[in-house]
Structure 1
Amino acid sequence: MTRAAANRYAQALFELSKEKNMLEQHRSELTAVKEVFTENKELLELLEHPKVTKEKKETLLNDGFAAVSDSVQRLLMLMLEKKRIDSVVYMIDKFEELVDEEWKVGHALVTTVKPLSEEERDMISKTFAEKAGKDTLYIKNELDPDLIGGLKVHLGDMIFDGSIKGQLNRMERNLVSGKR
């Protein structure tokens, strides 16, 4: 399935969710659906298998996701019917992006040598949320001993490299090019 089609499904559910004031509920439900599809690759194989009847596929989705709202269930059924169930995870990712934009929420990957403390997380979140024009910034911390010290922040398309390794690389480039 094309990403454009998955984007349209996400946009349609987003608009419906906003209209019905169900953004939070639908996001929560879709996060659970995404987890199921991500952790159970066999589920997608079964839903796409040509020898499994349409009725069995529908029953599998209905029973497996009985706890989700009618809107989410109908969307899953529509994607199954239109043979686009293979893009359900991508569609959910797009829906989450739309909700994050609506709520002015961002996500940053912060790479450090040692784990961040809660105070450091809060400080980084506040500082970079302002730079990104977000109200809230969630931090995912990855460790990389090659950084030597400092930190590297990936925020959308932007990278802020305050690591010692990054500073050394910049100095090396300046020395090699003859700049001081």
Structure 2
Amino acid sequence: MAELTTFARPYAKAAFQFAQEKGELSQWSEMLALAAVVAEDAAFRKVLSDPALTAEQQAQAVIDVCADKVTESGKTFFLTMAQQKRLVLLPEVSALFETLKAETENSTDVLVVSAFEMSDAEQEKLATALKAKLNRTITMSTEVDKSLIGGLIIKAGDMVIDGSVRGKLAKLAEAIQS
């Protein structure tokens, strides 16, 4: 994974700088996200790694599937990646692009996993608290995982706050065993 990120980083930075200069961050974000989904598809991965296809054909396959979301500069970008045999890195490029975009916009995506469905008021209160703690604009999504028993797990970037009953029981069991 670290190796893929290392190869993907220059492409993500170049795409981000270009999109930022042109004022097209949202457009590039959508285009790269769609291309990433396409590149993650098992059947399409075979197309991207098929040695019988030229770089132009592989790039054109991505462009054709993404259709109206691809700009002229996006076509050039995909062709450049194809010529370097890097189209398989599109998911990593998209993720790194989104990280750069979030840093610039001073925002972060937060995933809240709870044992039970959270009300709108609870979600709003938690989003306000997280915004104050992280000093960023928050985009929050929620999931329900009954195995947590109670409490929450909050994931924001590389930060994880485990306030679940399951997590506390695991810590207690670990403390007892040591």
Aligned length: 175
For residues 87-117 of structure 1, give each alpha carbon's deviation from its aligned partner in whole angstroms, at most 9, with x where no partner exists.
Answer: 1111111001111111111122212111222
- Give the greater-gyration-radius structure (CA): 1
Q: Which segments of 5 or more consecutive residues in structure 2 lack a partner in the other structure?
A: none
Asked if residue 6 in structure 1 is aligned to residue 16 in structure 2, the reply is no
Using the size of structure 1 for normalisation, the TM-score is 0.83
Give the residue type in structure 2 aligned to 1:141.
T
User: Of the candidates 102, 105, 118, which is equivalent to residue 104 of structure 2?
Assistant: 102
Give the direction of change, closer, same or farther, for the CA distance of 1:156–1:2 in structure 2 (3 Å limit): closer
- Rounded to whole Å, the distance in 2 between the matches of 1:4 and 1:170 is 34
For residues 140-180 of structure 1, give each alpha carbon's deviation from its aligned partner in whole angstroms, at most 9, with x where no partner exists.
Answer: 32222232222121222322233334445556667778xxx
- Rounded to whole Å, the distance in 2 between the matches of 1:3 and 1:25 is 22
Q: Secondary structure at the match of 1:152?
A: strand
Give the residue type in structure 2 aligned to 1:124.
L
Q: Secondary structure at the match of 1:65?
A: helix
Give the direction of change, closer, same or farther, for the CA distance of 1:77–1:147 in structure 2 (3 Å limit): same
- Rounded to whole Å, the distance in 1 between the matches of 2:128 and 2:33 is 25
Q: Which segments of 5 or more consecutive residues in structure 1 lack a partner in the other structure?
A: none
Identity of aligned residues (%): 27
2:112–2:143 Cα contact (<8 Å) kept? yes
Where do residues 36-47 of structure 1 align in structure 2 (5 Å cutoff)?
Answer: 36-38=38-40, 40-47=41-48
Where do residues 50-129 of structure 1 align in structure 2 (5 Å cutoff)?
Answer: 50-67=51-68, 68-129=70-131
Residue of structure 2 in register with 1:26 after alignment = 28
For residues 27-63 of structure 1, give each alpha carbon's deviation from its aligned partner in whole angstroms, at most 9, with x where no partner exists.
Answer: 122222222223x322221122112244533442343
- Rounded to whole Å, the distance in 2 between the matches of 1:60 and 1:174 is 54
1:61–1:77 Cα contact (<8 Å) kept? no
1:65–1:73 Cα contact (<8 Å) kept? no
Residue of structure 2 in register with 1:142 after alignment = 143
RMSD of equivalent CA atoms: 2.4
Q: Secondary structure at the match of 1:140?
A: strand
Give the direction of change, closer, same or farther, for the CA distance of 1:159–1:47 in structure 2 (3 Å limit): closer
